[in-house]
Amino acid sequence: MALIELDEVSKIFGFGDAATLALDEVGLSVNKGEFVAVMGPSGSGKTTLMNVIGLLDKPSHGNYNLSGQPVSRLKPNQQARFRRDRIGFVFQFYNLLPNLNVLDNVSLPLAYKGMTPVRRAKRASDILELVGMREREYFYPHQLSGGQAQRAAIARALINKPNIIIADEPTGNLDSHDSKVVMELLAEIHRQGNTILLVTHNPELTRYANRVIYMYDGTIVGDEQTAIGQMARHARRIFFRKPRTTDNDIAAGVSAMLKDVPGKEVTAATKRRKAKGKKRTLRRRATRSKR
Ligand SMILES: Nc1ncnc2c1ncn2[C@@H]1O[C@H](COP(=O)(O)OP(=O)(O)OP(=O)(O)O)[C@@H](O)[C@H]1O
Ligand SMILES: [Mg+2]
């Protein structure tokens, strides 16, 4: 049985003329222990998909089963319990509370479980040790580097021992060194048997995944199994293609790379067809010049 099972899940924001179809009958099934990277251009529905899977948002239509349970029909407080115990979130901008120190930020989710402050602090300390942040447990978020803040956020995500980690562009705000530290941490969490869903714009990071799904306009347009350590095939194509930059892209500060979606496979047959077409044009040109 799949851990995560979406069946024709749609999400509509707004009403009437202003309605946006953010997810368009998405079907997806993820098994326990998979590391899934989610790629796709801005606005393609990646975050919406993560929020539905993470029970932060309800689908407008369709079914969502988590461990075989139809969770989209649960009451809000039942959903909240599911979310708290099963799912850990990591966001691009860390979402740490500025007026709490690292230790309190990390132990906060335990407060809702009625654990004593001493036990909470002990558990939080242990997890901070795990992410290499023990010596900064009394720091406040503004005193941390991006990488340190993200490691604290990962510790917070792990505190309830969830088995699904949803990371929405967790390295989007980090330099390459800090990105690596954070990704190695996610890789370690994956090796311990957890299921990871990672949204990223960086094709390099597909090396950590064993599956990549590509989204476009609210649908999944590609789904690729890939070996850990290797860049996914479609992602590689996006990575090494010369960006087709337009003035608008430059103005928006966005790389045109992100606009690419996996195209049709170029098969030997299409290559042959193309070559034949070229020969024919050359022949036609040749006869025309003779005339
Ligand atoms: N709360 C909301 N209200 C209205 N529209 C929304 C809302 N959230 C998302 N959308 C719309 O749904 C679509 C998908 O958005 P989503 O945030 O899922 O994209 P994304 O793939 O995560 O993009 P990015 O790479 O920029 O983070 C977009 O067209 C967006 O404008
Ligand atoms: Mg997003």
Q: What is the CATH number of the domain that holds 10?
A: 3.40.50.300
CB of 212 within 6 A of ligand 1: the answer is no
Q: Structural domain tally of the chain? A: 1
14 lines ligand 1 (CB under 6 A): yes
**Rounded CA gap, 124 and 81, in Å?**
20
Instruction: Indicate which residue's Cα is closest to atom 3 of ligand 1.
Output: 13
Predicted confidence (pLDDT) at residue 163 exceeds the cutoff of 60: yes
Asked if residue 202 has its Cβ within 6 Å of ligand 1, the reply is no
Q: Is the CB of 51 under 6 A from ligand 1?
A: no
Tell me, what's the pLDDT at 260? 46
Strands 4-13 and 61-66: antiparallel
Confidence of residue 286 (pLDDT cuts 50, 70, 90): low
Who wins on pLDDT, 287 or 34? Answer: 34
Among 21, 39, 44, 53, say which to mutate for ligand 1: greatest number of ligand atoms within 8 Å of CB: 44
Does the pTM of the predicted model rise above 0.95? no
Q: Which of 39, 53, 50 is nearest to 200 (CA)?
A: 39
Residue 257 pLDDT: 42
Q: Which residue has the higher pLDDT, 20 or 262?
A: 20
Q: What mean pLDDT is reported for the chain?
A: 86
* Whether pLDDT at 283 is above 70: no
What is the position in ligand 1's atom list of the atom closest to the CA of 169?
27
Q: What is the pLDDT of residues 47-106, one digit of tens each?
A: 999 999 999 999 999 999 999 999 988 898 999 888 989 999 999 889 999 999 999 999
Confidence check: pLDDT of 174 > 70: yes
Ligand 1 centroid to Cα of residue 279, in Å, is 46
Cα–ligand 1 centroid distance for 21 (angstroms):
9
What is the extent of the structural domain holding 235? 4-290
What is the tens place of the pLDDT at every residue in 217-233? 999 999 999 999 999 98
- Say how far apart CA 109 and CA 227 lie, in whole Å: 35
